[in-house]
Amino acid sequence: MAIARTGVFVDDYLEYSSTLPAELQRLLNTIRELDERSQAMINQTRQQTKYCLGLASQGGAFSRKNEEEEVFDKLRKDIEANQDSALSLCTEKVLLARQAYDLIDSHIKRLDEDLNNFVEDLKQEGKIAPDEPAVLPPLPLVPKSEKRKLLYGTPQSKRIDYKDRDWDRERDRDFELMPPPGSIKKDFASPVELDQPIDPNEPTYCVCHQVSFGDMIACDNENCQGGEWFHYACVGLTPETRFKGKWR
């Protein structure tokens, strides 16, 4: 009987998760596309800013004062428009990443539920002791002080490749040139706060051996311990000092 029930649980879960790869791939492809578009806008803003500074340093590059004001006014509007568009795209990426997280989390919870139901069947059939603990304990709630906040320019996930770090740092510097999210009066300007349980199997980082939350920074030292990622507070960093000098 237990073997038959196992087959039912497996078949049901495989059917339930059959669309997961395609759905996840669609979300990740969209995030990649949005990332490329936002990076192109950031690069264009950088070029426009350099051009604007170059014109300002030349002084008498224009024959008429009105002509100079018109050129700078147009450049300013173009730069602001690119910044707004880049922020909108980055917000979309955050929301899509949240969807991907929730999608995977729902499948993990369904699997946990099926496993525990299977254990209950085994108990009823006398295959295991009635006081045998559940396969997986209930997920702990996130403490108030450690609620995850998805913020602009603060990726939570671990970087894939060492060679990407310089590019990531350059991108973070570009975001510092943008106006703060609060200056753009849109509904999505406020951080998205996640009040949800943390998977006990989720990897831990930093010297505090806790999961990823808030702002984190990667260590470049090849002998670095602690998963190579550290919370700002644990290493004495702030968003203003993260690129200044070395830290330990």
Higher pLDDT, 43 or 199: 43
Mean pLDDT, residues 2-16 taken together:
71
- Of 69, 104, 136, which residue sits at a domain end? 136
CA 45 – CA 42 distance, rounded (Å): 5
Residue 176's CATH number:
3.30.40.10
Higher pLDDT, 164 or 94: 94
Task: Indicate whether 206 and 104 sit together in one domain.
Answer: no
Task: Indicate whether 110 and 159 sit together in one domain.
Answer: no
Residue 88's CATH number:
1.10.287
Number of domains in the chain: 2
Task: Indicate whether 124 and 158 sit together in one domain.
Answer: no
Task: Indicate whether 126 and 189 sit together in one domain.
Answer: no
The overall average pLDDT reported for the chain is 71
Mean pLDDT, residues 56-64 taken together:
65
Question: b/e per residue, 98-115, with b = 16+ CB within 10 A?
Answer: eebbeeeeeeeeeebebe
Domain hosting 216: range is 141-248
Nearby residues of 143 by Cβ (< 8 Å), 6 or more positions away = none
pLDDT for the residue numbered 91: 92
Task: Indicate whether 88 and 204 sit together in one domain.
Answer: no
Top-ranked range on mean pLDDT: pick from 8-17, 51-60, 97-106? 97-106
Task: Give the pTM.
Answer: 0.49
Task: Indicate whether 132 and 153 sit together in one domain.
Answer: no
Q: How confident is the model at residue 28 (pLDDT cuts 50, 70, 90)?
A: very high
Q: Is the pLDDT of residue 230 over 70?
A: yes
Query: How confident is the model over 153-189, as pLDDT tens digits?
Result: 344 443 334 344 444 455 455 444 444 444 444 444 4
- Of 136, 169, 190, which residue sits at a domain end? 136
Task: Indicate whether 19 and 129 sit together in one domain.
Answer: yes
